[in-house]
Amino acid sequence: MDKRLLDVVIIGGGPGGLSTALVLGRSRRTVALIDDGKPRNAVTHLSHGFLTRDGVKPFELRSIAREQLKPYKTISLYDDYVETVQYEESHFKTITRNGDIFLSRKVMVATGLKEELPPIPGLDEIYGTSVFPCPYCDGWEHRDQPLAVIGNGEKLLNYTKMIHHWSKDLVVCTNGPASITQQEKQELTHHHIRLVESPIRELMSRGGQLNQIIFQSGETIKRSVGFLLDTGAKQATMIPQQLGIKLDELGSFETKGHGTTNVKGLFIIGDAAKRFTGLIGAASEGYAAGVVLNHELVEEDWNSFL
């Protein structure tokens, strides 16, 4: 147990949490950053869209960030998983799987989301290597290639429009009857996009590379890359709910400006609050929230002597 009353405990060591830690370290704040080492993008070979780090390996990005925190001796990093957070009188009590206890004035949750992929045979083996969720992350590398959109529902057409921008060689696979309107089907036809409604039997691949999609109808279509509309992403932790924070209709934790919440001293940033921020977006949110956190602490310190 760290018997000190820390300024901030940060739960989650992705770009959001690390960015907050950097701001707070430079603000002379005592910080414990706790991360279980299981990021959502662990299956991703390369990360894109992060200025000065385009094409970096995800764990390399984290390693660089952690290395750059070392000069700030008030920051401590812990490889652990947070089980519970409680609010006691004027502070938070964070308890980890290893049994460590941290007391802090503030808590930042930057844990992101975790995937619950649809049960399509062969998907697990190639998710992150040749089936992706985000065209902004992986569209450029697969521009003009034979692509497949895999998904269904009301967001299908808009998602298909996005993928079509990167490649006109596109097939939409709904893995069952398409839940779109006749007008939307006509739009696909107008743009020469084939719609396949037969359930998918298997995604065939070799060495992590998708090469064909086999359908229950017996048809086989050659494709080199798939884009998955719905990864089944859920909250990586329900700790904010323990403290009274509700989920909105999209499954995000309800927050206010700069990660603040209805619970005084509790902040939530990144995908946990917005579902999609991207690496650089999460880092930006972490910076802004770190500034707000320090301002709150400065005010509290100042007023404690009045």
**Residue 73, C-beta contacts closer than 8 angstroms, at least 6 positions apart:** none
Sign (positive/negative) of CA torsion 42, 46, 48, 53? Answer: positive
What pLDDT shows up at residue 46? Answer: 87
pLDDT confidence band for 1 (50 / 70 / 90): low
What pLDDT shows up at residue 277? Answer: 84
Judged against a pLDDT cut of 70, whether residue 180 lies above it is answered with: yes
Domain ranges of the chain: 6-115+233-304, 123-228
Residue ranges of E strands in 174-296? 194-196, 200-206, 209-215, 220-222, 225-228, 234-235, 266-268
Judged against a pLDDT cut of 80, whether residue 42 lies above it is answered with: no
How large a percentage of the chain has pLDDT more than 90? 88
Q: Which of 54, 71, 265, 75 is nearest to 141 (CA)?
A: 54
Helix and strand element counts for the chain (H, E): 9, 17
Residue 159's H or E segment, with its range, is helix 156-166
* Structural domain 123-228, CATH architecture: 3-Layer(bba) Sandwich (3.50)
The CATH number assigned to the domain with range 6-115+233-304 reads 3.50.50.60
pLDDT confidence band for 191 (50 / 70 / 90): very high
> Tens digits of per-residue pLDDT, 131-173?
999 999 999 999 999 999 999 999 999 999 999 999 999 999 9
Under a CB-based contact definition with an 8 Å cutoff, are residues 202 and 132 in contact? no
Mean pLDDT across 14-34: 98
> Tens digits of per-residue pLDDT, 90-126?
899 999 999 999 999 999 999 999 999 999 999 999 9
Asked whether the domain spanning 123-228 has the same topology as the one spanning 6-115+233-304, the reply is: yes
- Edge-to-edge strands of the sheet including 194-196? 131-132, 225-228, 147-150, 170-173, 194-196
Judged against a pLDDT cut of 60, whether residue 187 lies above it is answered with: yes
Judged against a pLDDT cut of 60, whether residue 229 lies above it is answered with: yes
Judged against a pLDDT cut of 80, whether residue 81 lies above it is answered with: yes
The verdict on pTM exceeding 0.85 is yes
CA-to-CA distance for 113 and 176, rounded, in angstroms? 27
